Structures are given as C-alpha cells and as structure tokens.
Copies of this chain bind each other. A is one copy, B any other.
Amino acid sequence: VLGLDPDPARLWPSAVKAAESRAAADEAAPDGLAGSAAAVRAARAVVSHCRLVLEATAAECVAVKPQVACFERLGAAGWAALEQVVGAAREHGLLVIADAKRGDIDVTAAAYGQAFFGPVPTPFGSVPGLGVDALTVNPLLGRDSLLPLVSAARATGAGLFVLVRTSNPGAADVQDRALQDGGTVSDRLAALVAALGADGTGAAGISDIGAVAGATAPEHLERLRRAMPTTPFLLPGVGAQGGSVTDLAAAFAPGPAGGLVAASRAIVYAFEKSGGPPQQAARAEAARLRELTWAVARQP
C-alpha cells in the first residue's frame, strides 16, 4: 500500500515546477481549487506530486493510503486536492484507504461516514462524499461510535481499519496498559474489532472490518491474529518508522490478503538515499517492498 503523506515543503521538485508553470501560464482556467493564492498553488503542487508518485509506483501496489491531515492543512484547496488524488488513484486501478483516524459519538460518526463513503443528502441534491474503499478509524469512544461507520462503509461495499495497536512508541502509554480482567487495552480493541467484523467476513475468509497493527511492534501480531482470525491487518511503519516486512508473517495467517503493508516516506523519499530521479528510486523501493511482502505472505 502506497502511503501518500504529501508535505508541501518537501514535494518532488518537478511537482513544484509544474505548479509554478501552471500558475504562470493560466490562473484563469478553473481546476476546482479555491483558497488563497499560496494554498491553491501548494494544492496544485501536491496533486502533481501525488500523480508523479502514482505513475511511478502504481504497478507495484494494490492500494493507496492518502494521509488526510496532509491535505487538510491546505484548507479547502487541500480537500479539493485530496478529491483529485483519490480520482487519480482510481485511474490507476488502485483501492483507496483514507487515513483519517476519525472517531466520534454516533451522530457525528454518521457525518464522517457521509464525508468518506457518501452520499450526503442536501436540499440541493445529493453530494457524493469522497467515496473511498476504506477509512481508518479510532475506537476510543467504543462500539456505538463505530456502528454508524460500519453501516456507512457496508452500504457502499467499503470497509474500515480500526486502530488496535499503532506504530508509534507512545502507543505503549494507553494501548499496552494491562486491564484488570486480563489482556491489554489493545486486546480489548481487538475483541471489539473481531465482533464488529464477524458479520462481514466473506467467502474468502477475510472481514470487511480491518485493524491497524503497526509494523514496528511485530511482537503483538501473533496475539492479535489469534484474537482477530479473519481481520485484514493494515501494517504501517515499514521503513521510515523502523518496521521490517520480514517480521510480519503472523499477519498473513488467513492468506496473502490478511496483511496490507503500508509504506510512504520509504518509497517517496527513496531518492534521497539512493540518488537518481525520484520516480526511478520510488519504483525500485516499491518493487523491493512488494517482493519482500509477497515472499512473507506466501510462506505456508
């Protein structure tokens, strides 16, 4: 899974140049972006950057995972850029996992469901929503906060990835705490995820309710896999955060689709280590990670 976390201050140089020349050539041609001049230009550069990364790596990937925070920081123009990047990923035949980690009480969760899966009824007609294939969600508010998101996802044939054990060191502060009645907070979340996904496990033996399980803490994976036998694991943290694909075998117990290895900075900034054009370095690193992943995923 290609993570797209575009930092406007660290885009591929050719994307910045493309946005500059577009700005100079014809500001009048509408491209669906609105906001301050800086926001619109930066959003255009973000779209160019993501298109270039997609062109370089799409053939090595099954899905793209845009980090919504990175778009949101450019305001309305950034949200329009996100819509365009989702469209570009679809043109490449990729699934789209919106990495937004949303979570709120029921009525608000339903609004997030509309935002990411659509549709949104209005007096002026229906608004489609972002229309992604899956959304990452935060379960701190409990089961009733997840149910509207499960419904919204299922209504469009989409799914969720629920945070269970994240990839950052601070995950230990809350998620690894031992509970009085056994297990950790993460184990409790895993039970919640397994229960929510039980109704959504299809013929292939994989559920529509996934779990985020950081690749940086593989010592948890076997236990989490036992607790969630049909849950697809989204495994971020490979590369820049220190995770290694070869440690992730437990994720693939239900089959090769049991684990989705996500990498972002490791691919996009590969050229800073390897030298050469960003496109070529990104494609090479994506291919390397794909091969590593398949080697682990196909182990008996």
Residues of chain A at the chain B interface (Cβ within 8 Å): 5, 7-9, 11, 16, 19, 23, 30, 32-39, 41-42, 45, 67, 69-70, 72-80, 83, 101-109, 111-112, 114-115, 120-130, 138-146, 163, 166-175, 177-181, 185, 188-189, 192, 241
Contact = CB atoms under 8 A, between A and B. Distances in A.
A293 B5 CA distance: 43
Of A67, A70, A124, A169, the most chain B CB neighbours within 10 A belong to A124
Contact of A75 (B33, B130, B141, B241): B130
Contact of A142 (B106, B174, B180): B174
Contact of A79 (B69, B76, B169): B76
A168 B185 contact: no
Contacts of A72: 79, 111-112, 115
Nearest to A147: B170
A97 to B, nearest CB: 14
A231 to B, nearest CB: 18
Given A80-B75, A83-B75, A178-B180, A103 B138 contact: yes
